[in-house]
Amino acid sequence: MKRTLYYNAQIILHDSTDWGAVLVEGEKINRVVKEEELSFDEFEGADFIDVKGNYLSPGFIDIHIHGGGGYDFMDGTEEAFREIATVHAKHGTTALVPTTLTTTAKRLEDTLDNYSKVSEEIINGAQFLGMHLEGPYFALAQRGAQDPRYIRNPDPEEYRYLIENYPSIVRWSAAPELEGALAFGAYLSEKGIIAAIAHTDAVYEEVVEAHKVGFNLMTHFYSAMSGVSRRNAFRYAGVVEAGYLIDDFDLELIADGIHLPDPLLRLIYKIKGPDKMILITDAMRAAGTNVCESVLGSFDDGLEVFVEDGVAKLKDRSAFAGSVATADRLIRTMLKLGNIPLEEVIRMITLNPARVMKVADRKGTIEVGKDADIVIFNDDVNVQMTIVKGRIVYQST
């Protein structure tokens, strides 16, 4: 079994950063050694890689991502899955959850079929953790860039069929105020699938009921969700306020500096704290490219978008259409705009998503026995090397 020692590293642990070395044996982390305790004689026969004083971090986990490198998971090809995983690995992502868009039942099944074909492959990029269905059960008024042609209420026959036939579905985002949404959420919880609130016009009381049946995650917090509103002269707290008030909710953040500006990032951190915040890219196909125009969703049935101001927008500029961020950009944003300690930022894109996706027993921290998912980056969070289950899948030149 191959053994590799990564030494001369600033190892990012749960709440501290220590100088030392990490021994990888096969797919697992075998030892974590403090610098003052390191003796190279102990590791005779291993490959030695000098990290050169850079940071050694747990691999970044992106639980909400649509595409990158010119590809979208809705393209209907196995190639799209492989290429997206490769592109994002260059930016430190070692595991990801492919995400769909609101679409036809057939295209949804085609996407799930393609996932099944590639999910067990050894890809030269990030590992897949299962599929995230974003929609089609959304509030039309909060559709954002989701195609209104396909938005509908939860259909028991449809979602039961999909869940029974596609075990790859690990999370599903929906609006909890829709007719049938509470029964849908309860069914997801019964099946061990993460129920997330998204594209919703709910009021606080409706979120409370949704939480009771198992909704415990908020998809791209603040984006396409209600805040305080007035109805018949009375004020109602919305989904945003529910996210703050209900401690159990984890909040996804598109931390590209555009979707959530500095004051909101700091507010979320102040109220929820670092352990309930999850950084996501929500990246669409233009991520990792320099294009000015692109398509959200599949080429033959998607929406044309502009890429400007560091974000994708609908043609009429009425809404953002996903981000063009990569994981390293999220970290830089949180460090510079949020003014948050590095260890806490890293936790938001490693351990926190691992916990939510129920893989924290094997991913999310640099610990003995866990998967050797590792990112090495410099002071500017420029990725130097990405390692997935012990394999180097990217190395800067």
Query: pLDDT of 347-391, one tens digit each?
Result: 999 999 999 999 999 999 999 999 999 999 999 999 999 999 999
Map tokens 């921290």 to a residue: 365
Rg of the chain over Cα atoms, rounded to whole angstroms, equals: 21
User: Which distant-in-sequence residues (6+ apart) come within 8 Å of 182 by Cβ?
Assistant: 176, 209, 210, 213
What CATH code is carried by the domain that includes residue 10? Answer: 2.30.40.10
Residues 15 and 73 in one domain: no
Give the residue among 116, 119, 118, 69 at the shortest CA–CA distance from 91.
Answer: 69
Residues 296 and 225 grouped into a single domain? yes
Q: What pLDDT band is residue 39 in, cutting at 50, 70 and 90?
A: very high
Distances (CA, A) of 237 to 182, 185, 207, 266: 19, 21, 10, 21
Residue 286 in tokens: 């233009």
- 102 within 8 A of 135, measured Cβ to Cβ: yes
Helix (H) or strand (E) holding 395: strand 391-395
Lowest mean pLDDT among 119-123, 169-173, 210-214: 119-123
Q: For residue 364, is it within any domain? A: no
pLDDT tens track for 210-260: 999 999 999 999 999 999 999 899 999 999 999 999 999 999 999 999 999
Same domain for 307 and 374, yes or no, is: no
Whether pLDDT at 101 is above 80 = yes
Question: Where in the sequence is the domain holding 105, given as residue range(s)?
Answer: 59-356
Which of 108, 85, 28, 157 shows the shortest CA–CA distance to 298?
108
Q: Are residues 374 and 312 in the same domain?
A: no
Q: Which 3 state secondary structure label does DSSP give 184?
A: helix
> Please, what's the b/e burial string for 215-244 (b: 16 or more CB within 10 A of its CB; e: otherwise)?
bbbbbbbbbbbbeeeeeeeeebbbbbbbbe
Known active-site residue 282: yes
What span, in angstroms and rounded, lies between the C-alpha atoms of 209 and 152? 20
pLDDT recorded at residue 391: 97
Q: Does residue 90 share a domain with residue 13? A: no
What is the reported pLDDT for 123? 85
- 33 belongs to a structural domain: yes
Tell whether 362 is covered by a domain: no
Residues 161 and 277 in one domain: yes
Pairing status of strand 93-98 against strand 60-65: parallel
pLDDT tens-digit map of 68-88: 999 999 998 999 999 999 999
- If one counts every other C-beta atom within 10 angstroms of the C-beta of residue 391, the result is 15
> What is the DSSP pairing of strand 93-98 with strand 127-128?
parallel
Q: Are both 40 and 178 inside the same structural domain?
A: no
Asked if 22 and 73 sit in the same domain, the reply is no
Q: What's the predicted TM-score (pTM) here?
A: 0.97
Domain co-membership, 169 together with 237: yes
Regarding whether 33 and 95 lie in a shared domain, the answer is no
Q: How far apart are CA 326 and CA 97, in angstroms?
A: 14
Q: Residue 254 domain-assigned?
A: yes
374 and 321 within one domain? no
- End-to-end CA separation in angstroms for the chain: 27
Residues 30 and 82 in one domain: no
The CATH code of the domain that includes 335 is 3.20.20.140
Structural domains counted in the chain: 2
Helix (H) or strand (E) holding 22: strand 17-25
Inter-residue contact 220 to 259 (CB < 8 Å): yes
- Of 147, 256, 282, 373, which is the active-site residue? 282
Whether residue 116 lies inside any domain: the answer is yes
Q: CA torsion sign, 196 to 200 to 202 to 203?
A: positive
Let me know if residue 361 belongs to a domain. Answer: no
